[in-house]
Amino acid sequence: MQLISSEIQSQMAGSSWIRRMFEKGIELKKQFGAENVFDFSLGNPDIPPPSCAADALHGLAERVARPFGMGYCPNSGLPEFREALAAYLSVQQQVTVQAAQVVVTCGAAGALTSFFRAVLEPGDEVLCPAPYFVEYGSYCGHFGGVLKAIPSLPPDFQPDIAAIEAAVTERTRVLLINSPNNPTGCVYSQRTLTALAELVNRVNATRKRPLYLLSDEPYRFLAYDGAVVPPILPLSPFALVLGSFSKNLSMAGERVGYLVASPAMPDVATLINAVTLTNRTLGFVNAPVLGQRLAMALLNESVDISVYARRREAMAQVLRAAGIRFTLPQGAFYFFPEAPGGDDQAFIQALLAQNVLAVPGSGFGLGGYFRLSFSVEDAVIERSAAGFKAAVAAVSSAR
């Protein structure tokens, strides 16, 4: 019997690399014991939420047991949370944002699908610098959108602006960027963002259907060595920012995020109303109310990012010692090193033979590299050193 649609059937056949590694990890941990497996495949923050999270939840406990304590809230989010987010985003983006320009969403993922549903006509294109988080393709593909990947410039992976400009067609509806970047750890510079915004503004000067500049920023809080993540909202009236509290508050499972549109967008209310509608009709209805209240209570808190900074150093040492080439990430918690031997999938297999789990660059639309998440305990990084060396030796001897 054909239980599922042909499109979903083919998507299942090509299940994501991250998922495959997740399953491989479970298998290896069963076989060898969790302490003998070095799992760098997942972007699940392992640092506990800020310690005041427990207090905040105790505070909510009495409140939720009242009538409407966990009832429906407006589809765009709790009004008081939207207000608080507007103030928070005004500081972050260096432009005055009103609550009316903010929609609270089920994570940044929910913001992306709601936005794509609101703006895409079937056949519209979404340009995205590669490597990129592969689910972006599914997010727009549900609604007939087509993701076009434009390789970024190694070794530091700033986007290739000339190539992006050359790829713009009448059907290009969204330019989707992600900084600090998953998987490269690159932080887009002020110069890069200005050039991208100028490109978008130039395109929009002659258009009736605007090209949107959409910046996905869940890792904004996590930049190293004093690196600054410049704001995009002031640069284009068609800029939008997505974010979430999954990483900075370690509450990825709670699914609270947001979309904010440039207040300079002509008729911005129409776009916000459309995203509010699609947020409802895609079945999100509203972001979970407990999570919204918790994020509001913790809005100015953050996990201890010095932990990630320390691990970045430790991971760099391990890679250097193994002779693996990489650019030190400026942000997020990923390395995207070159695959020794050049074949990322072969190197991933060599790592697996050492019980080391990582994701091939092919899983992010760019072969020849691999991604390591250093959202793991320090000891895992240190004890993985021998495995990396052995894997490099294995692919070298195979040549």
- Window 19-48: residues binding its own copies (CB under 8 A): 42, 44-48
Tell me: does residue 205 bind its own copies (CB under 8 A): no
Spell out, one character per residue from 64 to 103, where the chain touches its own copies: x when CB under 8 A holds, - when not.
xxxxxxxxxx------------------------------
Count interface residues toward its own copies (CB under 8 A): 88
Nearer to its own copies, 188 or 258 (CB): 258
Nearer to its own copies, 121 or 342 (CB): 121
Tell me: does residue 120 bind its own copies (CB under 8 A): yes
Show the tokens assigned to 37.
């497996």
Tell me: does residue 399 bind its own copies (CB under 8 A): no
Tell the smallest beta-carbon distance from residue 390 to its own copies (Å). Answer: 29
- Give the C-alpha distances (Å, rounded to integers) separating 274 from 145, 176, 282, 284: 17, 19, 12, 14
Nearer to its own copies, 180 or 237 (CB): 237
3-class DSSP state of 128: strand
Tell me: does residue 51 bind its own copies (CB under 8 A): yes
Tell the smallest beta-carbon distance from residue 248 to its own copies (Å). Answer: 12
- Give the C-alpha distances (Å, rounded to integers) separating 326 from 43, 299, 330: 19, 34, 12
Contact 115, 138 (CB under 8 A): no
Of 88-96, 110-118, 316-324, 366-374, which part binds its own copies (CB under 8 A)? Answer: 110-118
Spell out, one character per residue from 304 to 343, where the chain touches its own copies: x when CB under 8 A holds, - when not.
----------------------------------------
What is the sign, positive or negative, of the torsion defined by CA atoms of 135, 136, 140, 144? Answer: negative
3-class DSSP state of 394: helix
Nearer to its own copies, 118 or 322 (CB): 118
How many CA atoms within 13 Å lie on the side-chain side of 3? 1
Tell me: does residue 13 bind its own copies (CB under 8 A): no
Tell the smallest beta-carbon distance from residue 193 to its own copies (Å). Answer: 22
Q: Rounded to whole angstroms, how far apart are CA atoms 368 and 17? A: 15
Tell me: does residue 226 bind its own copies (CB under 8 A): no
For 127, residues 6+ apart whose C-beta sits below 8 A from its C-beta are 148, 150, 164, 167, 168, 172, 174, 175, 176
Tell the smallest beta-carbon distance from residue 205 to its own copies (Å). Answer: 12
Nearer to its own copies, 4 or 91 (CB): 4
Contact 105, 277 (CB under 8 A): no
Q: Rounded to whole angstroms, how far apart are CA atoms 106 and 285? A: 9
| Phi/psi of residue 168, nearest 5 degrees | -70, 130
- Window 235-294: residues binding its own copies (CB under 8 A): 249-255, 265-267, 270-271, 273-274, 277-278, 280-291, 294
